[in-house]
């Protein structure tokens, strides 16, 4: 049986991986860098300071990686002022999600080479520009050049190295020390290419803009989709696609889940529609959400009731679900939907009105 210190370290790391990405919408670069570092060292921490078996953690580790990626995407709705760059980031995000779905369904590693996680590094590029310049200055050519550079020279080699060849960099350097020179030259090429992309920008601002700033005051009590012509608007459709993809991915990552992709999509669509209907009803009754924490707690409670009712109905008709994994997924679903509803009005006002 694990001792108390092992359990404490395990939950400290898991909670850090859950809460640290929540800093990304307000502090993009510190949040992303912190999440990346923690994702890199979490299993090393377990190996060095605990005696816990890590086999069961692998599935949750992958699920938390996708969770971090979704928070990163949602922060682009909140913060990005360059509409063209946002469109590219949205494509890259969904392209990767679709690739991960295919991979989880087939377990073919080459799929991850075809669907690389270009979104993550493109996000870092954009936010690195925002540290010193207004990203609205990025032209379409610069955005496309940065995307191609990241896709071809960073992510494809990285995806091949990690997922296809499954090579370990440390072992390779030990066997062939000259590898360090090759990696240094490759990194220098990437840096020089990035500097050429931002050449010709207007003068840089003073200081470094680590803080993305608060949501505009006049949007804090608005809800995504409220007031549009149809209940089944573009926001609801995207949420269903967005969370259905996440649900399929999580169902294939987490142990003990036997639902099909179609069953997951139907269940997710039902929960999203109920959540949206409840949000519309509350807003029309004058119940604005001044606190995102309050909104999350309310919606999580509502979704918990839905899951418990479903669990009781299944048990009555000799069906079953893994309640722990379902509650874990519902928690992530609720958080993502809450942030989507919170940040989409900012995107709509900037780019669609």
Tokens 């940040």, residue located: 343
Average per-residue pLDDT in the chain?
82
CA distances from 309 to 1, 302, 325 (A): 34, 11, 16
Domain membership of residue 314 (yes or no) is yes
Domain membership of residue 284 (yes or no) is yes
Output 296 or 79, whichever has higher pLDDT: 79
pLDDT in tens, 159-173: 888 777 776 666 667
Indicate whether 272 pLDDT > 90.
no
Indicate whether 90 pLDDT > 60.
yes
Q: What is the pLDDT of residue 164?
A: 78
Q: What is the pLDDT of residue 268?
A: 81
Domain membership of residue 280 (yes or no) is yes
The closest of 161, 158, 61 to 117, measured between CA atoms, is 158
CA distances from 172 to 167, 175, 188 (A): 8, 5, 20
Output 320 or 87, whichever has higher pLDDT: 87
Q: What is the pLDDT of residue 221?
A: 46
Q: What is the pLDDT of residue 286?
A: 52
Range of the domain at 289: 221-353
Cβ–Cβ < 8 Å for 341, 215: no
Domains contained in the chain, number = 1
pLDDT in tens, 188-234: 888 888 878 877 777 888 889 899 988 766 654 444 444 445 666 78
Indicate whether 283 pLDDT > 80.
no
Most confidently predicted of 61-70, 115-124, 207-216: 115-124
Q: What is the pLDDT of residue 227?
A: 44
Q: What is the mean pLDDT of residues 53-65?
A: 74
pLDDT in tens, 284-301: 655 555 667 877 888 888
Most confidently predicted of 42-51, 137-146, 295-304: 137-146
Indicate whether 147 pLDDT > 90.
yes
Q: Round to whole Å and give the CA distance between 233 and 104.
A: 30
Indicate whether 174 pLDDT > 80.
no
Q: What is the pLDDT of residue 109?
A: 86
Domain membership of residue 170 (yes or no) is no
Domain membership of residue 236 (yes or no) is yes
């Amino acid at each position: 049986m694990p001792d108390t210190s092992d359990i404490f370290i395990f939950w400290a790391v898991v909670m850090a991986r859950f809460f640290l990405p929540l800093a990304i919408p307000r502090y993009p670069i510190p949040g992303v860098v912190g999440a990346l570092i923690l994702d890199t060292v979490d299993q090393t921490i377990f190996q060095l300071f605990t005696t816990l078996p890590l086999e069961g953690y692998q599935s949750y580790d992958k699920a938390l990686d996708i969770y971090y990626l979704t928070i990163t995407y949602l922060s682009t709705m909140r913060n990005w002022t360059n509409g063209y760059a946002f469109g590219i980031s949205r494509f890259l995000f969904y392209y990767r999600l679709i690739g991960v779905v295919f991979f989880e369904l087939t377990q073919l590693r080459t799929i991850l080479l075809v669907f690389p996680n270009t979104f993550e590094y493109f996000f870092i590029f954009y936010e690195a520009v925002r540290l010193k310049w207004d990203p609205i200055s990025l032209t379409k050519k610069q955005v496309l050049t940065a995307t191609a550079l990241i896709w071809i020279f960073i992510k494809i080699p990285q995806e091949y190295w990690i997922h296809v060849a499954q090579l370990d960099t440390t072992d390779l350097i030990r066997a062939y020390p000259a590898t360090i020179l090759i990696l240094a030259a490759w990194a220098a090429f990437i840096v020089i290419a990035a500097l050429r992309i931002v050449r010709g920008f207007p003068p840089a601002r003073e200081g470094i803009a680590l803080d993305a700033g608060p949501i505009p005051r006049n949007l804090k009590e608005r809800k995504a989709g409220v007031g549009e012509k149809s209940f089944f608007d573009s926001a609801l459709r995207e949420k269903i696609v967005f969370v259905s993809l996440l649900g399929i991915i999580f169902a294939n990552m987490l142990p003990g889940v036997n639902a099909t992709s179609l069953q997951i999509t139907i269940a997710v669509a039902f929960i999203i529609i109920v959540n949206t209907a409840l949000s519309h009803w509350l807003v029309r009754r004058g119940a604005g959400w001044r606190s995102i924490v309050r909104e999350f707690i309310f919606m999580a409670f509502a979704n918990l009731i839905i899951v418990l009712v479903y669990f009781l109905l299944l048990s009555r008709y000799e069906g079953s679900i893994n309640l722990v994994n379902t509650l874990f997924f519902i928690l992530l679903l609720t958080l993502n939907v809450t942030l989507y509803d919170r940040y989409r009005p900012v995107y709509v006002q900037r780019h669609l009105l």
